[in-house]
Amino acid sequence: MSTQNSDEELTAIEVTHSPTTVSAVLATLAAILAVFASSTSLLAMGLGAFGLVAVVGGLFVFDSERAMAVGTGIVFVGVVLSGILGSSLPLLIMGSFATILAFDIGQNAFSVGRQMSDETETTRGELVHASASLAVGIVIVGVAAVVYIAAFEGLSVSSLAFLLLGAMLLVWVIRQ
Q: Where in 110-139 is the site for other proteins (CB under 8 A)?
A: 111-112, 114-117, 119-122, 124-126, 128-129, 132-133, 136-137
CB of 163 to other proteins, least distance (A): 3
Ranges within 31-60 binding other proteins (CB under 8 A): none
Binding test (CB under 8 A) with other proteins, winner from 49, 50, 73, 134: 73
CB of 112 to other proteins, least distance (A): 6
* Residue 66 contacts other proteins per CB under 8 A: yes
E strand or H helix at 47, and its extent? helix 42-56
* Residue 71 contacts other proteins per CB under 8 A: no
Binding test (CB under 8 A) with other proteins, winner from 44, 48, 49, 107: 107
* Residue 61 contacts other proteins per CB under 8 A: no
- Cα distance between residue 45 and residue 29, in whole Å: 15
Binding test (CB under 8 A) with other proteins, winner from 27, 31, 44, 80: 80
Burial of 92-112, coded b for 16+ CB within 10 Å and e otherwise, reads bbbbbbbbbbbbbbbbbbbeb
Q: Computed over its alpha carbons, how large is the radius of gyration of the chain?
A: 21
- Cα distance between residue 44 and residue 37, in whole Å: 10
Binding mask 149-168 for other proteins (x = CB under 8 A): ---x-xxxxxxxxxxxxxxx
Of 43 and 132, nearer to other proteins (C-beta) is: 132
* Residue 172 contacts other proteins per CB under 8 A: yes
**Length of the chain counted residue by residue:** 176
* Residue 74 contacts other proteins per CB under 8 A: no
- Cα distance between residue 121 and residue 109, in whole Å: 13
Indicate the SS3 state at residue 123. helix
Binding test (CB under 8 A) with other proteins, winner from 17, 40, 53, 57: 17
Nearest residue to 81 via CA among 47, 52, 130, 131: 47
E strand or H helix at 176, and its extent? none
